[in-house]
Amino acid sequence: MRYRVEIGRKADAQLTELDPAIGASVERKIQWLAESAAVMVHWRLVGMPEDLAGLCKLRVGDYRVLYWNYPDQKLVRIYRIQHRLPGHPPRDYESFARETALKWQAEQPVRPSNRPVLINS
């Protein structure tokens, strides 16, 4: 049974700000949610304030769709669409790997060359 979907103003603004390819993926996932809401498991967020109680999450790549599910009304209300790690915008993975490798190399201790290396055998 297909559920009706309502998208809040903030979520709609966040959806329009996304890269077109990512936005299309999020829209497809929301359509899937509308078709599957009756039979799927809804993962609720824990530790939320009273006004956000019952808020559920749906992962779409590096993004989460936060929503409420109202099975008695056959309704899904989209609250927010945001990056999974707030404050960490999506990045180019090649440059991320390069930065991480350089950082790792810089953190490695430098062993003085005049000291012997002991090997336990």
* The one-letter amino acid at 34: A
Cβ atoms within 10 Å of 77's Cβ, excluding its own: 18
56-107 tens-digit pLDDT: 999 999 899 999 999 999 999 999 998 887 655 555 555 556 665 665 555 5
Tokens representing 93 are 């993975």
Q: pTM of whole model > 0.75? A: no
Please report the pLDDT score of residue 41 as a whole number.
Answer: 93
Domains of the chain: 4-102 (3.30.2310.20)
Please report the pLDDT score of residue 66 as a whole number.
Answer: 94
Please report the pLDDT score of residue 21 as a whole number.
Answer: 92
